[in-house]
Amino acid sequence: MSHSEDFKDSTGAGSILLVILAMVLFPLLPMLMGWFTILR
């Protein structure tokens, strides 16, 4: 029982990390695309 709860907690922390990562990366995406167009 406790093992499944630990697994749920770990997946919850992972999803929160993914959300934070997305929030940080989405504003940077247009800048990265601009760099790629400039480098090409």
Task: State the Cα–Cα distance between residues 1 and 37, nearest whole angstrom.
Answer: 52
Task: State the Cα–Cα distance between residues 14 and 22, nearest whole angstrom.
Answer: 12
Question: Could you tell me the pLDDT band of residue 2, with boundaries at 50, 70 and 90?
Answer: low
DSSP string, 1-40: -HHHHHHHHHHHHHHHHHHHHHHHHGGGHHHHHHHHHHH-
Question: Could you tell me the pLDDT band of residue 9, with boundaries at 50, 70 and 90?
Answer: low
Question: Could you tell me the pLDDT band of residue 6, with boundaries at 50, 70 and 90?
Answer: low
Give the range of the structural domain holding residue 30, as residue numbers without chain letter.
Answer: 2-39
Residue 23's pLDDT is: 92
- Amino acid identity of residue 39, one-letter, is L
Report if pTM > 0.85: no
Over residues 12-39, the pLDDT tens digits come to 888 888 999 999 988 888 888 888 888 8
How many domains does the chain fold into? 1
